[in-house]
């Protein structure tokens, strides 16, 4: 199978950071809410690591956005993300 490389998904680190900040969460708080190991969000935001598929879906659920928003365009956020 041919999986995308980090450079093929350049928006993911920035989108994770923007969505987290819009929700008013620290990296550690996002780790806890998404059930991720401590420090994982920092690695995602720094672009040193991409979310695995299970982690990706956890982030989508916590942020309340579509998968497309997480990998592409964050302009149209769901109400859940804008509430906090």
18-28 pLDDT, tens digit per residue, is: 999 999 999 99
CA distance 84 to 19: 11
Using 50, 70 and 90 to split pLDDT, how confident is the model at 8? low
Domains contained in the chain, number:
1
**Is residue 63 one of the residues assigned to a domain?**
yes
Residue 81 lies in a domain: no
60 in any annotated domain: yes
CA distance 81 to 84: 6
pLDDT bracket for residue 69 (50, 70, 90)? confident
Structural domain contains residue 1: no
Give the structural domain span for 37. Answer: 9-74
CATH, residue 69: 1.10.260.40
Contact 16, 45 (CB under 8 A): yes
Mean pLDDT of the chain: 83
Instruction: Work out the widest C-alpha separation in the chain, in whole angstroms.
Output: 39
* pTM for this entry: 0.76
Classify residue 83: in a domain, yes or no: no
State yes or no: pLDDT of 3 exceeds 70: no
23 domain residue, yes or no: yes
pLDDT higher for 32 or 82?
A: 32
CA distance 42 to 53: 17
- Judge whether 27 and 41 are in contact, CB under 8 Å: yes
Instruction: Give the pLDDT mean for 37-64.
Output: 95
């Amino acid at each position: 199978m041919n999986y995308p490389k980090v450079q093929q998904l350049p928006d993911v680190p920035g989108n994770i950071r923007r969505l987290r900040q819009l929700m008013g969460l620290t990296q550690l708080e996002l780790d806890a809410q998404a059930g991720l190991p401590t420090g994982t969000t920092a690695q995602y935001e720094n672009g040193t690591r991409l979310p695995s598929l299970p982690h990706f879906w956890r982030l989508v659920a916590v942020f309340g956005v579509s998968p497309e928003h997480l990998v592409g365009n964050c302009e149209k956020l769901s109400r859940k993300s804008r509430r906090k």
